[in-house]
Chain A
């Protein structure tokens, strides 16, 4: 007993020093990224939470005001509009992008010629500069001169849509733009998912007399469930964070018709008289929205495993 007590610390000490050295080496690997990450990401995150309960214009002293910012949000029409618009945008964008990207992936998963060409072409809008493609989109969909409305007019359509300039059509215009720009990205994810499906099941179903549509609906689609789940999560999160599209196509208007949460944060903090605490309170709303989706994702992927 005494003997073991004597040797045990010796072994432990030796192990510890080796472990310690290993740990130090490991920390030195992590340090460059971790230090930068702490300073520029972690600290601002903590700061953001604290700031949401304060009033600060950047000049005067920071003042703790408890829940006042959140109470003010309830009476803020711009905030309410931006919250509703963010949800509307998400509800519009997610299913549309999902269906388009899945359809395209199914097409490209066939043995077709120029497959790589088609894949590259549908992926290109995703990597292209948003400013540039938004500029061309604005011209093409210009209500008075744009080719889209000119084509519609030559087809005899009366009451031409006013696209980004119309209160009812502005959001649809931005949604169409987003679907066009991003569907290639999700198409690639779906293509990878399709390549992971079991072809023997398709053949078995075919022998049983199922047609292509039945095979797709009852055999392929169920196998794609994890991919679909992932795509929905990613699309929802990125839709909650939407801002640039609105800034470039509609400037949040007409009125507040396409104002979103991030657009509102930007305006409150950087455009109008700065109210940093208030902007952080809106940020918390955004954060909670994303957090809810992330929790769903966590639950869902646990269930998938």
Chain B
């Protein structure tokens, strides 16, 4: 009896060990699938065009060519593209944080007429795809002379219903007693928002920051429609323009791609925790 138990637990242990090995093998395969394109990109960015497709793949180039990273800045106005994108991303993110958290405070903590109807209106529009009204939006902006301006992109991105929704969810978790106490201490509603709600909502603000940052930095269709002058373009459409003009400059394309990825990589690694939390809470809510 004892022997069979021991044998059983022994075989269970072996089975367990096999499972672990399978799990790790699968994980490594998935991680490789995810990473290999990026490694290939990095490797190709240090190669001459004729060597990019040499086979078998030379992962670490025998005579690396860092020149690609020098030439790309003169081949296209890459610095202008990056500065344009950085400017748009920072302004949009700040506006988004301000207007969303400001409005969310009212929706979460104040009573007013038409609250339910207004909020329902916001929620309903989250479901309407932007692509369904981008054409009339462009007509409207153009009639105001806003095509080929950065202001158009800012207006497009800065007032999202999603931000209000996200911040409201978070504010509802903050105890109302805190606000009551502050009111008794004589703080105005604006004071409560500034001194109590904003400092408390750092996690939610971080989540909104990284979402807005990534989506503005990587936005493609908006800038593609609105910004046709080269000096106004963002990194995404600038890079795309370069790719369609010099489709055989493989090394340079890969170098420019690496440069375009770096800012997002930095922000993502720094705020990753909040990104994951944000995605996860969106899922739980559903």
Q: Are A283 and B37 in contact (CB under 8 A)?
A: no
Which one of A51, A128, A147 has the greatest number of beta carbons of chain B within 10 Å?
Answer: A128
Any A CB within 8 A of the CB of B232: no
The one of A36, A132, A189 in contact with B283, judged by C-beta atoms closer than 8 angstroms, is A189
Q: Is the CB of A122 within 8 A of B53?
A: no
The answer to whether B240 touches A265, judged by C-beta atoms less than 8 angstroms apart, is no
Q: Is the CB of A133 within 8 A of B236?
A: no
Whether A81 is near chain B, meaning CB under 8 Å from some CB there, is: no
Query: For A192, what are the chain B residues with a Cβ–Cβ distance below 8 Å?
Result: 279-281, 283-284
Q: How does the 8 Å CB contact mask read for A88-120 relative to B, with 1 for contact and 0 for none?
A: 000000000000000010011010100001111
Task: Confirm or deny: A255 has a beta carbon within 8 angstroms of a beta carbon on chain B.
Answer: no
The docked-state distance in angstroms from the alpha carbon of A179 to that of B210 is 22
B240: chain A residues within 8 A (beta carbon): 131, 248
Q: Could you tell me which residues of chain A, from 217 to 245, have a CB within 8 Å of some CB in chain B?
A: 226-227, 229-231, 233-234, 237, 240-241, 243-244
Closest residue on chain A to residue B26 by CB atoms: A107
Most chain B CB neighbours (cut-off 10 Å) among A40, A283, A287: A40
Mark A29-60 against chain B: 1 for CB-CB distance below 8 A, else 0: 11011101101111111011001000000100
Q: In the bound complex, do residue A127 and residue B264 qualify as a contact, i.e. CB atoms below 8 Å apart? A: yes
A169 within 8 A of B: no
Of the candidates A25, A196, A237, the one having the most CB atoms from chain B within 10 angstroms of its own CB is: A25
- CA A296 – CA B235 in complex, angstroms? 38
Q: Judging by beta carbons under 8 Å apart, are A29 and B159 in contact? A: no
Interface size on B, residues (CB 8 A): 93
Report the separation of the CA atoms of residues A262 and B35 in the bound assembly, to the nearest whole angstrom. 30
Centre residue among B19, B129, B138 by max chain A CB count within 10 A = B129
Q: Which residues of A contact B139 (CB under 8 A)?
A: 47, 58, 276
Partner of A26 from the list B41, B57, B111, B131 (CB cut-off 8 Å) is B111
Q: How far is the CB of A156 from chain B (nearest CB, A)?
A: 15
Pair A44/B137 contact, Cβ less than 8 Å: yes
Q: Distance (Å) between the CB of B72 and the closest chain A CB? A: 13
Tell me if A112 and B264 are in contact (CB < 8 A): no
Most buried by A among B57, B136, B193, B220: B136
Does A30 lie within 8 Å of B118, measured CB to CB? yes
- A34-B118, A124-B34 given as contacts; is B132 within 8 A of A140 (CB)? no
Given contacts A123-B276, A136-B44, 8 further A-B contacts (CB under 8 A): A37-B125, A125-B34, A131-B257, A136-B40, A145-B53, A147-B40, A147-B55, A290-B129
Lowest 4 CB-CB distances: which A-B pairs, in order? A230-B286, A189-B283, A36-B159, A192-B280
